[in-house]
Structure 1
Amino acid sequence: MAAPFLQYHEPGIIDILILVSFFTFLWISEYASNKIIRAGIIGPIAVGIIYGQPLANILHHDWQETFLYLGYIGLVLIIFEGGLSTRLDLLKANFGLSLIAAATGVLCPIGFSYLLLYLGFGYGAVETFIIGAALSATSLGTTFAVIAGASKSVDLSQTRVGAVLISAAVMDDVSGLVMSSVIHQLGTLSSGGDANLGWLIGRPIVASAAMAILTPVLTKWVFAPLFRSWVEHHFAKLDHLSNISLMIVVLCAFISIASFAGTSILFGAFLAGTFLTYLPSKHPSGPFVVLSREQGEREKDKSPTFVHTFELYCFDAQTYVLAPLFFASIGFAIPFLDLWSGRAIWRGAVYTLLMLVAKFLVGVCIPISSAVTRAPASGSSECAGVQEKSALSRSVRSAALPPALLLGMAMVARGEIGLLIVEIGYNNTSYVSADGFITAIWAILLNTIIGPIAVGLLVKLRGEQIAKGAWGLVPGPEPELSAGSDAALTEARMEEARK
């Protein structure tokens, strides 16, 4: 009879050395791939391929399954952090243009996939849709890392083009996550399950739309007023402890609602982050309006922000353990040896180029928007000559070219979401063939390498020009001021600067 507890055994030295070497190579490979090719996720994926079943199979099978679960928690935290750090003011101001860019970034890859995979290579219609959906995603994490690492003097995430980029990438990922839920549900049909096709496809879409609409409405009119009136002033007593408790409750609530409603829990994680971002009062006297984490921890009536708490409790674990484990777990599932047949290489290369063009077309939104914005001004003067109009048109195109290139190339990296979608399609349904899976893997990996390299070079050469142009830096939102509060805020800032 088995003992009603886990019997403790000292781990063997071989197992300990394997685990130590695995995590060491995860960290080294991420650093090296980020420095060399500006795509930090490629290194951990390569380590996962080597240590997992695709090649050496050094890790025990149960270890790989455990790392898969831990890695998925890392992915949830990546998406949650993205929601916490989103500039809602920039997202709102550029929503229309971002929506057009996102639609272009979704429709072009899927449409081009049907032209090549369905008509050219003879893949099935559903298989083509799944692969196209995977290539419609954009790696938000890779985009942030490239922009932050390539420019030391200018934070391009605070520029107008950066806002459009981040918003469009988030929308593409959300649509990709919704499609991944649909694809996951299609596995029920492909396995012979008795289910309604319309309900399987419609449920994730309806659930996602409902959560996307109800979350900001309820946050603004119900939860934020209640939190600001009755709760937030008590948070200053316990600082980070109060914050992390609420963050855990909110995150678990959102991902649970998303799961039971039928949409992706990753979408729920992003909404949880934006929900917490909007909750606190923006008034200078509000507990969460602080100039630094130290001020929130030091002053009695102030509290660190949720971002500060995430940095304290979660950032290191996410950066050095959970996120690398997620990318390594993707490597566990890549059939590495099957990638190297002649047929797989040439099909993967052709599809890679087509998918690069499909996402690069998103950048066209920038010059079109610039031309439309400038058109009324140039047409209002009856005395303007043809040469003057032509010079103005050339000036507009010239100023819009670097931001357009930045937006287009930054959307190219597919990364984690693309790999996740195609893995779901291949492992959970019978629609995606091994040949189609290999073709998609080639395109995702190569685009995730090419995009960051191109963005890094462009930011180094034209980063300052982009930051100072019409699509450049946008000042952060000021706190809500009342009579006499602006002087108090200025005094607080001067005091913080002196310290």
Structure 2
Amino acid sequence: MVETATAAPSLPYHEPGIVTILVLSSFLLLLNVVNSILDRLVYCGLLGQVLVGIAWGTPGAKWLPIEAEEFIVQLGYLGLILLVYEVGGLSTSFKSLKANLLLSSAVALTGIAFPIGFSYTLQGILDATPVQAFAAGAALCSTSLGTTFTVLASSGLSSSRLGVVLTSAAMMDDVVGLVIVQVISNLGSGNVDTITIVRPVLVSIAFAVVVPLASRFVVKPLTLSLNGYRKMHPDVRLTRVLQLRQTALTLHTALLLVLITGASYAGTSNLFAAYITGASISWWDSELPHPIGSIGIAGDGSTTKEARATDPGITLQQPHEAHPANEDTSGSAVYEHYYQQAVGKILQPFFFASIGFSIPITRMFQGSIVWRGIVYTILMTFGKLVCGLWLVRFSLAPTNAIRVLRGKIKLPSIPHLWGRNNTVEAASTGLSQDGTQSEPKDSQQEPAQQPRPSNLHTSPARKPFSLHPPLILAFAMTARGEIGFLISAVAESNGVFSPSLSSSSNNPQSTESDIFLVVTWAIVLCTIFGPLGVGLTVRRVKMLEQRKNREQEGAGRDVFGVWGVG
């Protein structure tokens, strides 16, 4: 009989040794230093954190104890939840998303279908089963959100149409990947049936439908009713409490925990629930009006001077009472104030390092694994590069050919025959419609920023003269990263890549992790080449813009065209 150890009433306190202090401190410091350097150079700091995890953890020097690695994995997953909550959910712009929904969906569908389809070549390369090939393709259909947002921020394209399409498509790819994570974890049991596959999909669809409906028909009426009460009673205690940032923190965190718990018990990914939570809070902040102290009601968190002018009952707070009303209680502000430092410096680096703990680096450099990994990487790179074709405008129609020919031979401008907009034509030449020279409204504004179409998201008036926008989109979609590592690690740890699911494996010892190693090669190489391609393309675009401003004084055609406007 095995005797059960009696639980200790408390944990004895022992001062950590100097070796432990040095290992942990160097581990945490190096995670942040490497991330900062690689983000500046090649926009893939997360890859450096994965490599640090490999070096310090079990695959490398084994400096970290197993207990420490397990604790880092747990804290790192909290960082991943908050990363999806903030980068994916809170950063969602619904107005821009609606304007580019069809294009973003097409890009996302292309980025999912091609990698999964190409992954079935593993059946010939590694004797993989269809389930294993699907799991490999699921890992490679994701897009690195961290890399995507870092690249857009560094290039100044975050609010552009190209940035909206890219972030929306990347998020859609990762949402599908998050659903597939739960499917793959269920497949590890070996009991592959309809319920195993359909349940997480249906539950995810239910979350995506029920939460928006509840927001529209429950949260919105309650918010408007509460706003009316707060406007009529600006001095009640409830109004003062709701103005506090701590109240918003409590409500946002409670909603996040409730939806994550519900998703886990319902059978879908809690990461998807984190995204839904962030998107719901973003919708509530941007789409609904909110009282600001006792000053007025604004939908964007700004003070309404009109309310003070038209409503004599609305007065300013006294100076000693003004600080609660001035606090920004939006989801982004709350996250930045309370979570950002801990997530960015500790929890998120721990997550990427924990991914490195599960990469068997010593086996990745076997000859048979290396060449298969390179071949698979080429296929997976092409599977994402085709996404850029959606931004390429092929001039095949006769009217487009005529316009191109007209531009080449410098025909006289006849706006009423060619159907061009007189306003845009006049703005681009500096002439008014009656032929006289017109002065710009803003002398500080550059000439390149003068002509603006009425609808920047849909107007074809500003066409790019290069393939740089499609290239940036294609290279940015190529970078995999956190979700790809997560899916492949889950598939490996749950036995999806094991020979037990393969009917044609004759050497279980050598084939046990071969698929995982090949997938890891593809994720790592794509995460390197993708940001490098974006960085080189953005650098080339900046050079072209500088040359255009220098030679043509900013009056030439935009490098990005319609894709560079906000």
TM-score range, shorter chain: 0.7 to 0.9
Q: Does 1:89 align with 2:89?
A: no
- 2:482 matched to 1:416? yes
TM-score using structure 1 length = 0.84
Aligned to 2:249: 244
- Give every structure 1 segment of 4 or more consecutive aligned residues whose post-TM-superposition deviation is greater than 4 Å: 231-236, 375-379, 388-392, 395-398, 463-468
Aligned to 2:226: 230
Q: CA 1:376 to 1:25, structure 2 compared with 1: closer, same or farther past 3 Å?
A: same
Match of 1:178 in 2: 179
Give the Å deviation of 1:376: 10
Partner of 1:358: 383
How far apart in 1 are the matches of 2:227 and 2:364? 55
Please state if 1:42 is matched with 2:47: yes
Q: Quote the residue 2:84 is aligned against.
A: 79
Deviates more, 1:322-331 or 1:279-288: 279-288
Comparing 445-454 and 1-10, the one that deviates more: 1-10
Q: Residue 284 of structure 2: which of 267, 279, 285 is its match? A: 279
Match for 1:19 among 9, 24, 45?
Answer: 24
1: CA distance between counterparts of 2:167 and 2:186? 28
Q: Post-superposition shift, 1:300?
A: 2.7
Q: 1:400 to 1:161 in 2, by over 3 A?
A: farther
1-structure distance, mates of 2:239, 2:263: 28
User: How many residues end up aligned between the 2 structures?
Assistant: 454
Q: Could you tell me how far 1:5 is from its partner in structure 2?
A: 1.8
Deviation string 1:339-384 (CA, Å, 9 cap, x unpaired) is 111111111111111111110100111125x869xx69759xxxx6
User: Where does 1:134-153 land on structure 2 (aligned, <5 Å)?
Assistant: 134-149=139-154, 151=155
CA RMSD in angstroms comes to 2.9
Q: Is the 8 A contact 2:126 2:515 kept in 1?
A: no
> Residues 16, 218 of structure 1: CA spacing in aligned structure 2 closer, same or farther, 3 A cutoff?
same
Q: Is the 2:463–2:562 contact (alpha carbons within 8 Å) kept by the matching residues of 1? A: no
Read off the aligned partner of 1:227 and give its amino acid letter.
T
Deviations 1:25-56 (A, max 9, x none): 11111122223332110111111101110011
Q: Which amino acid aligns with 1:208?
A: S
Q: Deviation at 1:283?
A: 6.7
Q: Distance in 2 between matches of 1:385 and 1:305?
A: 48
Separation (CA, whole Å) in 2 of partners of 1:455 and 1:170: 18
Match of 1:497 in 2: none
Contact 1:30 1:41 in 2 (8 A): yes
- Residue range with higher mean Cα deviation, 443-452 or 344-353: 344-353
Give the partner amino acid of 1:176. Answer: G
How many angstroms does 1:273 deviate by?
0.2
Higher helix share: 1
- The 5-angstrom pairing of residues 478-489 of structure 1 reads none
Does 2:167 align with 1:166? yes
Q: What SS is found at the alignment partner of 2:63?
A: coil
Cα offsets for 1:389-434 (capped at 9, x unmatched): 9999xx9985462211111111001100001001111110243441
The match for 1:447 is: 526
Which residue number corresponds to residue 470 of structure 1? 562
Whole-angstrom distance in 1 between the partners of 2:322 and 2:123: 58
- 1:91 and 1:98 map into 2 onto residues whose CA distance is 8
Question: 1:284-303, aligned counterparts within 5 Å?
Answer: 285-286=296-297, 289-290=300-301, 298=323, 300=325, 303=328
- 1:126 aligned onto 2:122: no
CA distance 1:67–1:366, shift in 2 (3 Å): same
CA shift digits 1:424-447 (9 cap, x unpaired): 111102434411111000000010
Change (3 A) 1:275 1:297: farther
Match among 94, 109, 116 for residue 103 of structure 1 = 109
Q: Percent of aligned positions with the same letter in both sequences?
A: 39
Q: Give the superposition deviation at 1:322.
A: 0.2
CA contact (8 A) 1:133 1:176 kept: yes
Which residue identity lines up with residue 178 of structure 2 in the other structure? L
Q: Which amino acid aligns with 2:518?
A: T
Distance 1:67 1:371, change over 3 A: farther
Q: Which amino acid aligns with 1:162?
A: G
Q: Is contact 2:116–2:137 with CA below 8 Å preserved after alignment?
A: yes
Q: 2:369, 2:560 → 1: CA distance?
A: 44
Higher Cα radius of gyration? 2
Secondary structure in 2 matching 1:18: helix
* CA distance in structure 2 between the aligned counterparts of 1:80 and 1:160, rounded to whole angstroms: 23
From the superposition, tell whether residues 97 and 274 of structure 1 become closer, same or farther in structure 2 (CA, over 3 Å).
same
SS at match of 1:470: helix
2 CA distance for matches of 1:274 and 1:159? 20
Residue deviations 1:287-344 (CA, integer Å, cap 9, x gap): 663359xx99836376432211110100000000000000000000100101111111
Matches within 5 A, 1:180-199: 180-189=181-190, 197-199=193-195
What does 1:318-397 correspond to in 2, within 5 Å? Answer: 318-368=343-393, 387-388=405-406
Match status 1:205 vs 2:205: no
Task: Measure, in 1, the Cα distance between the counterparts of 2:372 and 2:475.
Answer: 22
| Residue matched to 1:494 | none
Q: Deviations over 1:92-125 (max 9, x none)?
A: 11111111111100000011111x3123443221
Q: Deviations over 1:202-228 (max 9, x none)?
A: 001101111112222221221133134
Q: Is the 8 A contact 1:165 1:407 kept in 2?
A: yes
* Whole-angstrom distance in 2 between the partners of 1:126 and 1:354: 19
Residues 185 and 371 (structure 1), Cα distance of their counterparts in 2 relative to 1, 3 Å cut: farther
For the Cα contact (< 8 Å) 2:39–2:45, is it kept in 1?
yes
Structure 2 vs 1, CA of residues 21 and 212 (structure 1 numbering), >3 Å: closer, same or farther? same
Say if 1:364 and 1:404, in contact at 8 Å, map to a contact too. yes
Q: Which amino acid aligns with 1:67?
A: I
5+ unaligned residues in a row in structure 2: which ranges? 1-5, 231-237, 304-318, 410-417, 419-460, 499-511, 546-556
Letter in 2 for 1:412: T
Q: 1:144 to 1:378 in 2, by over 3 A?
A: same
Are the counterparts in 1 of residues 104 and 166 from structure 2 also a CA contact under 8 Å?
yes
